Amino acid sequence: MNKKEFSNAIRFLSLDAVEKAKSGHPGAPMGMADIAYVLWKKFLKHNPSNPNWINRDRFVLSNGHGSMLLYSLLHLTGYKLSIDDIKNFRQLKSITPGHPECDITPGVETTTGPLGQGLANAVGMAIAEKSLASEFNKKGHNLIDHYTYVFSGDGCLMEGISHEVCSLAGTLGLNKLILIYDMNNISIDGDISIAFTENIEKRFESYGWNVINNIDGHDFGSIEQSISRAKRELSKPTIICMKTTIGCGSPNKQGTSGIHGAPLGESEVLLTRKNLGWEFKPFHIPKYIYKEWDAKKSGKTLEQNWNKQLNSYKKSYPKLYTELQRRLKNKLPSSFTKKIDSLIEKNDKSMATRKSSQVVLEHIGPSLPELIGGSADLKESNLVFWPESKPFSKKDASGKYIHYGVREFGMCAINNGIFLHGGFRPYGSTFLIFSEYAKNAIRMSALMHLPIINVFTHDSIGLGEDGPTHQAVEQLTSLRIIPGMSVWRPADVTETAISWKSSLEKLHGPSSLVLTRQTLPELKRTNAQITSIKKGGYILQDCSHKIDAILLSSGSETHLCLEAANKLTKDGLNIRVVSVPCLEEFLSQPKSYQNKLIPDDFDNILAVEAGIGVCWDKLIGKKGVKITMDTFGVSAPGDKALKHFGFTISNVIKQTKKLIKKNG
């Protein structure tokens, strides 16, 4: 029996699916088929009958355009992905979309496509494995013990994010991370020498990685030996540089960019069948090949043996067992709500909301061991730490504070991987303006419906002297328009506490907490008002007579509206103040609740926010007005910058009176 037949099954499932769809990327699956066979057959610990088994090895296809490689592997090894699903590649409502999506296809660990991010997710998974193992493994009970394997191509390593995350992985000594680099030297534009000539071996050695170089990616023995070597490394992540031929087996297109992202064509498919001795019809896999690939029995045995360990662990460490189960189910501890409520009840101090956030974390952090994350080199500015939070490091993986360094994009993509691993609630932090560096990873959080928490401080022109390069203007809007994102911009400690509470309770999609550098007063509320904060919008101050105007605001501008309303009341006007800390949550409320706060037929509405204000148009109607930004900021002390752009009590009063006069 020719073992190449087993890897050829991947090649022909891939090229047949691409041919039928008249769309796709056959080159990478055909080139990496031999590597995939050896890894999945000889090394990968997984159970097709339970894709979510916590102690499985993780496999990430970072070069996600080669999705048919992964779909072929899942189909052949026995996951719930049928030959009809393969035939339905890239079609509407199929479970085999153009790029792998983790919430669509069983066995897909993460959604990949934007190059380099799968590699970043894999770094996150390796961090999570190391942290969870340090916390729960005990002598004689090696409960958490698995590897993260990631396939990556030239494109992934060209992307800047690969530098960010691989540099950090080396610093953290993630030895159970094994990167298999497909060195086919071809990109869409042709031979990579036109744009990518660096020495990968020296690059990764400088990161502190173990480098295994010059491996023949089509020789089963060499592939197996290299992976075995990688697994013996105990202090460093490993990159295995596999030399392959893109589109391996295609007589006229292999080794060229022409096979990267297009069907081979009918005549070339026939020639490839003949060249590789594949005599079977499209989508036909012989039974003996299925038998060789089938991993259901071995996977079931692996998990059963692990379950025996788990039962023994339960008897020896019942409290840790219960805690692990809670964490894996993403259930918050019972004490969580009480701690948040106690903070709300006793707070009356004025402070910046970034400080408010730290106060919240000091209350809840010690009782939330699943909370892991940190800041992109802005620990003392973002304030996302508390006294008990110690650093995660190469020497101590039990710490939950990650020093991400100046790596905003990498941080957010790593956090996606940490959550996907299981057992953690990750957060990351930077200045709001630098959410732009991280935006695609934040978008991927939303696309995958992951409850990642982003903490963005220095939220507006109010940060002051650093000027327009650091002053966020359009970022609030750009975050709000991401589907599934909840953007919280609290006005004080109470709203900040509710923002954290809501973000941690949300399990289907990311949240962003947007916080000030400047001090804000703590506002007075009734218990009913506090209860309503979670709805994203509520009446902060009302009037007993017919309303003359409604003032809407978030964050640092809320107290301006409140003070302006008090002065307008003295002038005989009836003003309602509505705080909207989370526009998305408010707009998700029943229309009856929204109308109770902002009646549909009411015209005199003024929205005040120190950012681009297009999102407020949904609430103010055609006759309402805004005090918002429509330019970049200026370099000046924060209070002077805010005054320069009209964010003052006097201007709110002026614009409110002008609005009332205009609309009658």
Confidence category of residue 62, pLDDT binned at 50, 70, 90: very high
The pLDDT of residue 346 = 67
Half-sphere exposure of 74 (CA within 13 A, CB side): 27
The pLDDT of residue 348 = 74
Confidence category of residue 345, pLDDT binned at 50, 70, 90: low
Give the C-alpha separation, 47 to 42, whole Å.
Answer: 14
pLDDT, average across residues 353-375: 95
- Parallel, antiparallel or unpaired: strands 453-457 and 519-520: unpaired
Instruction: Classify residue 355 as exposed, middle or buried by CB count within 10 Å of its CB (0-12, 13-18, 19+).
Output: buried
pLDDT digits over 215-242, tens only?
Answer: 999 999 999 999 999 999 999 999 999 9
pLDDT, average across residues 564-586: 97
Q: Cα torsion at 392, 394, 398, 404 (round to 10°)?
A: 20
Fold type of domain 4-120+146-300: Rossmann fold (3.40.50)
End-to-end CA separation in angstroms for the chain: 89
Mean pLDDT of the chain: 97
Nearest one of 124, 156, 61, 650 to 374, comparing CA atoms = 124
Q: Which alpha helices (DSSP H) does 144-198 contain, by range?
A: 154-158, 160-172
State pTM to two decimals. 0.98
**Would the CATH topology of 4-120+146-300 be identical to that of 534-663?**
yes
Has residue 429 got a pLDDT over 90?
A: yes
Fold type of domain 336-520: Rossmann fold (3.40.50)
Helix, coil or strand: residue 189: coil
Contacts of 121 (CB under 8 A, 6+ apart): 60, 62, 109, 110, 112, 413, 414, 416, 417, 420
Active site residue 224: no
pLDDT digits over 610-619, tens only?
Answer: 999 999 999 9
Tokens of 207: 């990161």
Give the C-alpha separation, 449 to 566, whole Å.
Answer: 42
Ranges assigned E (strand) in 342-482: 351-352, 371-375, 401-403, 425-431, 453-457
Give the C-alpha separation, 183 to 203, whole Å.
Answer: 15
Parse the chain into domains and list their residue ranges. Answer: 4-120+146-300, 336-520, 534-663
Has residue 115 got a pLDDT over 80?
A: yes
The pLDDT of residue 132 = 98
pLDDT, average across residues 60-74: 98
Give the C-alpha separation, 7 to 218, whole Å.
Answer: 10
CATH 3.40.50.920 is right for the domain spanning 534-663: yes
| Residue indicated by tokens 């090649």 | 11
CA distances to 212, 410, 548, 552, 651 from 565, in Å: 68, 44, 11, 11, 12
Nearest one of 257, 190, 189, 213 to 31, comparing CA atoms = 257
Tokens of 488: 């919280």
Q: Give the dihedral sign, CA 445/446/450/451.
A: positive
Give the C-alpha separation, 464 to 642, whole Å.
Answer: 9
Question: Is residue 183 within a helix (H) or strand (E), and if so which, with residue range?
Answer: strand 177-183
Question: Is residue 657 within a helix (H) or strand (E), and if so which, with residue range?
Answer: helix 649-663
Query: Which is the catalytic residue, given 5, 408, 557, 609?
Result: 408
In percent, how much of the chain has pLDDT > 90?
96
The pLDDT of residue 388 = 86
Contacts of 574 (CB under 8 A, 6+ apart): 543, 544, 545, 546, 547, 548, 549
Angle CA 162–25–420, to nearest 5? 45
pLDDT digits over 181-221, tens only?
Answer: 999 999 999 999 999 999 999 999 999 999 999 999 999 99
Report yes or no: 395 and 416 within 8 Å, Cβ to Cβ.
Answer: no
The pLDDT of residue 1 = 58
| Greatest pairwise CA separation for the chain in angstroms | 93
Q: Which amino acid is at 386?
A: W
pLDDT, average across residues 557-564: 98
Q: Give the dihedral sign, CA 434/439/441/443.
A: positive
pLDDT digits over 18-55, tens only?
Answer: 999 999 999 999 999 999 999 999 999 999 999 999 99
Nearest one of 18, 237, 246, 228 to 154, comparing CA atoms = 246
The pLDDT of residue 620 = 97
pLDDT, average across residues 374-402: 95
Tokens of 282: 């499209």
The pLDDT of residue 339 = 86
What is the full DSSP assignment across 65-116? GGHHHHHHHHHHHT-S--HHHHHTTT-TT-SS-SS--TTTSTT--S---STT
In percent, how much of the chain has pLDDT > 70?
99
In the DSSP assignment, the letter for residue 57 is P
Q: Residue 542: beta bridge partners?
A: none
Has residue 295 got a pLDDT over 80?
A: yes
